[in-house]
Amino acid sequence: MSAVATKTAGTVRAAASKVTTSTPSSKTVYLFRHIQTSQVLVTLKNTVEKQSLKQITKETRRPPHVRPDHWQPLVPQRLRAVQEMNQLDETLVKMVELLNEQPQIKAAKGKGIHILWEREGVKHQLLQKEGVSFLDGIQHGDLAIRRGRDIVNA
């Protein structure tokens, strides 16, 4: 590691320790990088303020004022993947595969298992699309729900 990188890492560590020790109630530390000079600031707020510029020890290298368009988050927030938001298809298919692979359930051919569905059309549509099926002995029924959350027939 070069001397400049070591010095920068040490400066960031020192600034982070100063910020975190001064206010113990905050649990989030934000790192911002200047897009022109690659200077790094540590702050407890999600924006850079004039007071944060005091972390840059040399006054000649310190920007005269804070321009929000010049400071970017060092670790940008990432959006969640679309795959994580729609898990119904994968979860249902994996449940069917796991039930079909269990040795106790296979030996009994699914007898004694009763699955209640809120919308049976979803089950048929997904299973036909994926090409999987339940064991023959597994019983299916309608799930009765009252007021949108209370299960009546469990």
The tens digit of pLDDT for each residue in 50-97 reads 888 888 888 888 888 888 889 998 876 665 666 566 677 888 888 888
* Type and span of the H or E element at 96: helix 88-101
At 9 the pLDDT is: 59
Q: Are strands 145-146 and 114-117 parallel, antiparallel or unpaired?
A: unpaired
Structure tokens at 111: 């007898």
* Phi, psi for 128 (deg, rounded to 5): -70, -40
Tokens representing 8 are: 């920068």
**Virtual CA dihedral for 50, 53, 54, 58, nearest 10 degrees?**
-140
Last residue of a domain, one of 41, 73, 105: 73
d(CA 8, CA 115): 59
Q: Which of 49, 73, 97 corresponds to the end of one domain?
A: 73
Contact 140, 124 (CB under 8 A): no
**Same domain, yes or no, for 87 and 125?**
yes
Domain count, the chain: 2
65 and 95 belong to one structural domain? no
Range of the domain at 28: 3-73
Kindly state whether residues 68 and 97 are assigned to the same domain: no
Q: Are residues 59 and 108 in the same domain?
A: no
**The tokens of 148 are what?**
């949108």
Are 31 and 92 contained in the same domain?
no
User: For 11-58, how does the pLDDT look when each residue is reduced to its tens digit (9 = 90+)?
Assistant: 656 665 665 445 555 578 888 999 998 889 988 888 888 888 888 888
Indicate whether 61 and 89 sit together in one domain.
no
Do residues 36 and 96 both lie within one domain? no
Shared domain for 63 and 95, answered yes or no, is: no
Same domain, 87 and 143: yes
Residue 147 has pLDDT above 70, yes or no: yes
52 and 102 part of one domain = no
Predicted model pTM: 0.42
- pLDDT recorded at residue 26: 56
Rounded Cα distance, 96 and 45, in Å? 47
Residues 12 and 44 in one domain: yes
**146 in the same domain as 86:** yes
- Decide which of 73, 98, 118 is a domain's last residue: 73
